[in-house]
Amino acid sequence: MTRTLITGGLVITAADELHADVLIEHGRVVALAAPETQEWTADRVIDASQKYVIPGGVDAHTHMELPFGGTFASDTFETGTRAAAWGGTTTIVDFAVQVKGESLHAGLNAWMEKADGNCAIDYAFHVIMSDVNETTLREMPKLIEHGVSSFKLFMAYPGVFFSDDGQILRAMQVAGDAGGLIMMHAENGIAIDVLVEQALARGETDPRYHGEVRKALLEAEATHRAIQLARVAGAPLYVVHVSAQEAVAELAAARDMGLPVFGETCPQYLFLSTDNLAEPDFEGAKYVCSTPLRPKEHQAALWRGLRTNDLQVVSTDHCPFCFVGQKDLGRGDFSKIPNGLPGVENRMDLLHQAVVDGHISRRRWIEIACATPARMFGLYPQKGTIAPGADADVVIYDPHATQTLSAETHHMNVDYSAYEGKTVTGQVETVLSRGEVVIDQRKYVGHAGRGVFVPRGLCQYLG
């Protein structure tokens, strides 16, 4: 089947909302036309009356199979990308991890192997630099040429992923020269580790102390420091998983100065809080991630940041660990709870709920979840929009359906939902990935291996 026609829907992109029919041929969008003005024929016609027709989501921050804290994130590329498709996401950008002492290329190759032949949707990679040194710095321009144009550094996790300020500065200098983008996990990990040790010595071992020691001020301080280092290096900066209002203020100040500084937040920081981390009977472990969930008061600053464009992207940081057998590793010591939350399936719906709740407009929904992540990471307009020439990654979205989020019904390979029992308005109905239907009226009809690696260009907000 090569020609598909989607009729009668409201097409929403970051730029426009228009009632239009969409013609798809050979995996690409070829034309849009006002309803009933065209006489196109097609092998398949999808009726989208009363529905939205939106670009497939681009989730620029996932961790399938991430090794962390002595275990592995529970979604494989197969299960995680299938769940992403269920949730209306058609592209993920995952993180290949450089093992200390090995090359960046070896890390990338290892992650390519994990993904190859297993993905339901398209995928790309960033690289986590665990070890910034002469050799890995030399590799960065070559990776950029090969479509891996962003590098994550950590100011947290001393002894694991941590880079010191000198290493960060050097990586930023190379990225700045070569057109790469540094993604920063901005938390002062050295100070946090002191507070962890002191908390444990006081017998404060419950999950909620994870949130207490990872102070908002230490996120803000690291964010500020990362911005100054990027200025010195003459490099752009993308700060991942921003959760503290003080960190948003640092980003806003930098952007007011005209600096090429960008910020990402995640649904968990917009919808969950330290109240969840404080749930009794170790249930709080389900909500342990870094940066941590914050008191509810921080949410207003995050929503405001998304409206004012001081924050540009919402990704999931999908990094699931089962409650039984994985989060358990930290019973009696919160610092041993594997960090991360599931969410790749929930992002598009939760952000639609934000539209319903009046936090953002429909076009802003598509901008922060599809178009901007695609532009930020060099995938636009192949991904992130519905326009002639774009990949036909398209979601038929029912804005009137209601659903209750639950581990009973989700497709992520994890034994709990961070949003268990939450009712949201809106649901993915049908999903096309490069013109092929992978979710057909809430039935999975895709298969592992149809997703392909997508080499990326440079960040499209620079130069």
Whole-angstrom Cα distance, residue 25 to residue 6?
12
User: Residues touching ligand URP: how many (CB under 6 A)?
Assistant: 9
Phi, psi of 447 (to 5 degrees): -155, 155
Shortest Å distance, C-beta 126 to ligand URP: 11
User: Is residue 317 part of the contact set for Zn ion (CB under 5 A)?
Assistant: yes
Cα distances (Å, whole numbers) of residue 92 to 13, 220, 265, 296, 327? 19, 28, 16, 28, 24
Phi, psi of 91 (to 5 degrees): -140, 135
Helix (H) or strand (E) holding 17: strand 17-25
Whole-angstrom Cα distance, residue 293 to residue 73?
19
User: Is residue 265 part of the contact set for ligand URP (CB under 6 A)?
Assistant: no
Whole-angstrom Cα distance, residue 453 to residue 125?
8
Binding ligand URP (rule: CB under 6 A), the pick from 317, 349, 367, 393 is: 317
SS3 state at 8? strand
Cα distances (Å, whole numbers) of residue 328 to 8, 261, 284, 338? 49, 37, 11, 9
| CB-based contact 349:426 (threshold 8 Å) | yes
What length does the chain have? 463
Whole-angstrom Cα distance, residue 311 to residue 304?
9
Shortest Å distance, C-beta 416 to ligand URP: 15
Instruction: Using the structure block, give the residue that is written with the tokens 């992520």.
Output: 412
Phi, psi of 419 (to 5 degrees): -120, 30
Of residues 73 and 390, the one with the C-beta less far from ligand URP: 73
Cα distances (Å, whole numbers) of residue 124 to 5, 42, 231, 373, 401? 28, 31, 28, 12, 31
Can you spell out the DSSP letters for 399-411? EEEEEE--TTT--
Cα dihedral sign for 233, 238, 243, 249?
positive
Helix (H) or strand (E) holding 183: strand 181-185
Of residues 329 and 401, the one with the C-beta less far from ligand URP: 329
Which residues lie across from 93 on neighbouring strands?
Answer: 124
Of residues 261 and 428, the one with the C-beta less far from Zn ion: 261
Binding ligand URP (rule: CB under 6 A), the pick from 185, 255, 327, 383 is: 185
User: Is residue 327 part of the contact set for ligand URP (CB under 6 A)?
Assistant: no
User: Is residue 185 part of the contact set for Zn ion (CB under 5 A)?
Assistant: yes
Of residues 246 and 317, the one with the C-beta less far from Zn ion: 317
Of residues 126 and 434, the one with the C-beta less far from Zn ion: 126
Task: Considering only the stretches 141-149, 167-175, 183-191, 382-390, report the one whose residues sit in contact with Zn ion under the rule CB under 5 A.
Answer: 183-191
Shortest Å distance, C-beta 95 to ligand URP: 8
Binding ligand URP (rule: CB under 6 A), the pick from 319, 337, 387, 437 is: 319
User: Residues touching Zn ion: how many (CB under 5 A)?
Assistant: 2
Binding ligand URP (rule: CB under 6 A), the pick from 13, 98, 265, 339 is: 339
Of residues 83 and 428, the one with the C-beta less far from Zn ion: 83
Q: Which does 286 bind (CB under 5 to 8 A by kind): ligand URP, Zn ion, none?
A: none
Nearest to 313, CA basis, from 84, 93, 153, 127: 93
Q: Which does 414 bind (CB under 5 to 8 A by kind): Zn ion, ligand URP, none?
A: none
Cα dihedral sign for 97, 159, 180, 293?
positive
User: Is residue 126 part of the contact set for ligand URP (CB under 6 A)?
Assistant: no
Of residues 4 and 326, the one with the C-beta less far from ligand URP: 326
Whole-angstrom Cα distance, residue 416 to residue 345?
13
Shortest Å distance, C-beta 259 to ligand URP: 23
Report 21-80 residues binding ligand URP (CB under 6 A).
Answer: 63
User: Is residue 5 part of the contact set for ligand URP (CB under 6 A)?
Assistant: no
Task: Considering only the stretches 3-11, 44-52, 178-186, 209-217, report the one whose residues sit in contact with Zn ion under the rule CB under 5 A.
Answer: 178-186
User: Is residue 126 part of the contact set for Zn ion (CB under 5 A)?
Assistant: no
Q: Which does 339 bind (CB under 5 to 8 A by kind): ligand URP, Zn ion, none?
A: ligand URP
Binding ligand URP (rule: CB under 6 A), the pick from 189, 340, 343, 451 is: 340
Binding ligand URP (rule: CB under 6 A), the pick from 108, 289, 412, 431 is: 289
Binding ligand URP (rule: CB under 6 A), the pick from 274, 290, 316, 353 is: 290
Shortest Å distance, C-beta 197 to ligand URP: 20
Peptide bond into 291 cis (omega under 30): yes
SS3 state at 109? helix
Q: Which residues bind Zn ion (CB under 5 A)?
A: 185, 317
Q: Which residues bind ligand URP (CB under 6 A)?
A: 63, 185, 241, 289-290, 317, 319, 339-340
